[in-house]
Amino acid sequence: EAAVTQSPRNKVAVTGGKVTLSCNQTNNHNNMYWYRQDTGHGLRLIHYSYGAGSTEKGDIPDGYKASRPSQENFSLILELATPSQTSVYFCASGEGRASQNTLYFGAGTRLSVL
């Protein structure tokens, strides 16, 4: 079973502060993703990556940066956090091959921006 670990699991931040959400996967997957989950919107794609050094914008990248320094690690950075970024954030990884498209999700990070 693929393992994706997110940290922290819970975070309270102040408006205007910097927040970094971290994700680590131990399965040597090429692709990694950051989604946020909000009631009524489901899962929305923020940023994704095809491998170390690569970051791509998803559907809602504004206010977020991403960093993929290695195959294993993918971070989501909120430089100036706003209350609208209060949400549950999920990281996922996948092999990125046509024959194997399954995504493996982390446990999620609950972020509250006050």
Partner 1 sequence: GEKVEQHESTLSVREGDSAVINCTYTDTASSYFPWYKQEAGKSLHFVIDIRSNVDRKQSQRLTVLLDKKAKRFSLHITATQPEDSAIYFCAASMSNYNVLYFGSGTKLTVEP
Footprint of partner 1 (CB under 8 A): 31, 33, 35, 40-45, 48, 50, 58-59, 90, 92, 94-98, 101-103, 105-108
Q: How far is the CB of 43 from partner 1 (least distance, A)?
A: 4
**If DSSP codes are grouped into helix, strand and coil, which group holds residue 85?**
helix
Distances in whole angstroms, Cα of residue 67 to Cα of each of 14, 24, 57, 102: 22, 12, 11, 22
Q: Give the span between the Cα atoms of 84 and 37, in whole angstroms.
A: 12
Beta carbon of residue 108, minimum distance to partner 1 (angstroms, whole number): 6
**Taking the complex as a whole, how short is the minimal distance between the CB of residue 18 and partner 1, in angstroms?**
25
Token reading at 108: 């999620």
Q: Which is closer to partner 1, CB of 15 or CB of 102? A: 102
Task: Identify which of residues 5 and 73 has a Cβ nearer to partner 1 in the complex.
Answer: 5
Nearer to partner 1, 10 or 15 (CB): 10
CA–CA separation, 114 and 79 (whole Å): 15
